[in-house]
Copies of this chain bind each other. A is one copy, B any other.
């Protein structure tokens, strides 16, 4: 309880402010529907396509809110983060838009494509060894030397308020939703979803979808406290990280349930979306549909918002071709 008291919980006013702030730098992403997937699931699915977002990830929302919320003095010094995934690209994109320095600590083993993307957006990479201790030591050094503002990938109120603009858009695009479902890793997108939905549409149920191979959030939810796994292994590479205090606040207070899917179910759902909807989504984005297909009784006859979180995939290594 005491730790909860020290948290800075973002409010819906922060979401409104975030949306005004980031609008020039993000897309209002489209909602796509699929008659075939509706027939297959028995539900009415509304896909919010953040794979069509700038940098192909919803994380541009939170990163942009953090970057454009800095004072000019703060901005001059720049921002920093550690991430080998979409947050690294997104923070680099946002910093590039404002024209300020951005440093990303990445393991030297990270895919060259991700490194190239960060550099392409104007970011500086500092490499570390692929271990938590090396990453933390390297990152501490970067911040100590530069004084850069640390933008955490999800446990940051500015980031959560930014991610919350996704559901805010969705509520203006689709009427009378019964439920919303999004993937859960560290919980940034789900927390933003909770923030918006609990304020603007409190009757809409919120589901989180997680790989069974990285089901620490589902186990946390049942246990009533955060359980963090060390380096789980899943094709949904965006969902390996654990909940933190701020995202746990939202998950524990507002989520109806956390559903899980196997690796095979995730890959099948991913391929199904590519095939029927003709959009490129990354494995993490397929977890919600995988859980809907697995639990038709929950969603049948319901109008469900499904958040497609990103589209960054190595086109030379598709998971259904590696099996």
Contacts and interface: CB of A to CB of B under 8 A. Distances in A.
User: Which bucket holds chain A's interface residue count?
Assistant: 20 to 34
Contact of A320 (B271, B275, B279, B316): B316
Contacts of A271: 315
Interface in A262-299: 271, 274-275, 277-281
Interface string A41-53: 0000000000110
Among A35, A56, A315, chain B packs the most CB atoms within 10 A around the CB of A315
Identical chains bound together, number: 2
Contact of A30 (B30, B54, B274, B311): B30
A56 B278 contact: yes
A45 to B, nearest CB: 15
B32 A275 contact: no
Interface of A: 30, 32, 35, 51-52, 54, 56, 271, 274-275, 277-281, 311, 315-316, 318, 320-321
Given A278-B281, A280-B280, 20 more contacts: A30-B30, A32-B52, A35-B54, A51-B278, A52-B277, A52-B278, A56-B278, A271-B315, A274-B280, A274-B315, A275-B315, A278-B279, A278-B280, A278-B311, A279-B279, A279-B280, A315-B318, A315-B320, A316-B321, A321-B321
